[in-house]
Amino acid sequence: MKRQKRDRLERAHSQGYKAGASGRSKEMCPYHSSETKSEWLGGWREAIDARATGYYNKL
């Protein structure tokens, strides 16, 4: 059970990172559960920071 929960959270984080890297707004978060939404937003923030430091080119 713990593995399934971890995988779900890892997937939410990964999807949030991809959304942030592509420049999507944080309001586009598809999750409603506080735990998964928090993971998605964490990934989104990491990607936004990476974009700000020049890791990704802004289109």
Q: Mind listing the pLDDT tens digit for each residue in 3-58?
A: 666 799 999 999 999 999 999 999 999 999 999 999 999 999 999 999 888 876 65
In this prediction the pTM is 0.82
Q: Give the separation between CA 59 and CA 45, rounded to whole angstroms.
A: 18
Domains of the chain are 2-21+29-52 (1.10.10.620)
Dmax (CA) for the chain in angstroms is 41
What pLDDT is attached to residue 18?
95
DSSP 1-59: -HHHHHHHHHHHHHHHHHHHHTT--GGG----SHHHHHHHHHHHHHHHHHHHTTSS---
